[in-house]
Amino acid sequence: MDLPKYTGTIHPEEWVKQVQIYCYLKGIESEGKIIKFSKLMIDYTIIIPNVNEINSFEELIKALKLHSTFSIYKNSCKRKLQLIKYIPEQEDVATFLANFRSLCMEISDHKEIITMLINSYSNYFFKGEFIKRVEGINSVDEIFKIFSEVVFDELKIIKFGSSIALKHVATGKYLSSCNVNYKTGSNQQVVFAGEKFPDEDALWYATTSHNFQHCTYDDGFDLTHKVTGNKLGINSSYRSPTTGHFEVNCRNGSSSLKWINTSNATNNNAPYVKAKDVIALKCGISIFRSHDFTFTIGNKTFQEVVGHNERIGGNDEWQIEIV
């Protein structure tokens, strides 16, 4: 470690700490000697009045802050803060916030810090959620904590086009389809509750005709089976193979679905659909349900998935997973 020279490009307090660390590593612990070293390491272009009368770290820091280079440093930091951008693909949130914090040591206005953080990340969900959560907060540490929490929450949101799986809460099996057609009813592609792990038959993605990125509970959408490319739907004109409810199938056609949040009473107004949310899935006025009833096609047995117009119950709940 080299003894750092003071050139006005670092905060005086941080520079003094670095000098102290250097001296401690060299076995120099006398404050007087460290201050003497410090004064010698100030760049010759930075003229400090009465520098020989400085006898403490506090006096040294104060003198450096009174020099014009410190105003230039602060303005430079503010400009960097106005331009700084958080890009998740290039930098983790901890590194970004550490850099951000180092640039705003002289900013005491928490509202100014909030504004610069909002402008640092061009993400629709982040901006709305961060503004809502920092309302009434004036602790800078808490503001940074909320920033990181919102960034991580954004990773849990279901995005249109992303692979998801739906686990049937009551039986633990995943909503699935495959290249097999019903032998009754519509003769369309079967839908069933498959394995207790998300295999390729259990992979889906949501699509919408609107230019939206994140799924919300207000959206109408199609749920497309990833392997076959067909869309999930309920056909009330046909009956399910075993229990005679409405048939659930996959076909080449749109069926506008809706998420219904059943996770808990306090979260029912959450706008965004997130991983681990427990939901009911609605098609028109009908609800998707599974149960222990099965049907057989050839030598293969499937757990039935049906549609109904009854009250939502435990067999209608599915948990969303990002896969």
Amino acid in the structure at residue 262? T
User: How far is residue 110's CA from residue 113's CA, in Å, rounded to a whole number?
Assistant: 5
Are 243 and 306 in contact, with CB atoms under 8 Å apart?
A: yes
Please give the helix or strand (H or E) that residue 134 lies within, else none: none
Backbone angles phi, psi at 20, to 5 degrees: -60, -45
Strands 300-308 and 286-297: antiparallel
Count of CB atoms within 10 A of residue 142's CB? Answer: 13
Q: What is the CATH number assigned to the segment(s) 164-322?
A: 2.80.10.50
Residue owning tokens 């080299």: 2
| Structural tokens at position 217 | 């509970």
Which pLDDT belongs to residue 269? 57
Among residues 314, 184, 178, which one has the least CA distance to residue 243? Answer: 184
Which pLDDT belongs to residue 205? 97
pLDDT in tens, 66-106: 999 999 999 999 999 999 999 999 999 999 999 999 999 99
- Give the 3-state secondary structure percentages of the chain, helix then strand then coil, rounded to 5: 35, 25, 40
Strands 246-251 and 231-239: antiparallel
Are 283 and 220 in contact, with CB atoms under 8 Å apart?
A: no
| Positions in the chain short of pLDDT 70 | 1, 264-270
Count of CB atoms within 10 A of residue 151's CB? Answer: 21
Which pLDDT belongs to residue 265? 45
User: How far is residue 243's CA from residue 241's CA, in Å, rounded to a whole number?
Assistant: 6
Please give the helix or strand (H or E) that residue 107 lies within, else none: none
Domain extent listing, the chain:
12-69, 84-156, 164-322
Are 257 and 218 in contact, with CB atoms under 8 Å apart?
A: no
Which pLDDT belongs to residue 4? 80
User: How far is residue 140's CA from residue 151's CA, in Å, rounded to a whole number?
Assistant: 17
Which pLDDT belongs to residue 248? 98
User: How far is residue 99's CA from residue 198's CA, in Å, rounded to a whole number?
Assistant: 40
Please give the helix or strand (H or E) that residue 99 lies within, else none: helix 93-103
Which pLDDT belongs to residue 209? 82
Are 165 and 174 in contact, with CB atoms under 8 Å apart?
A: yes
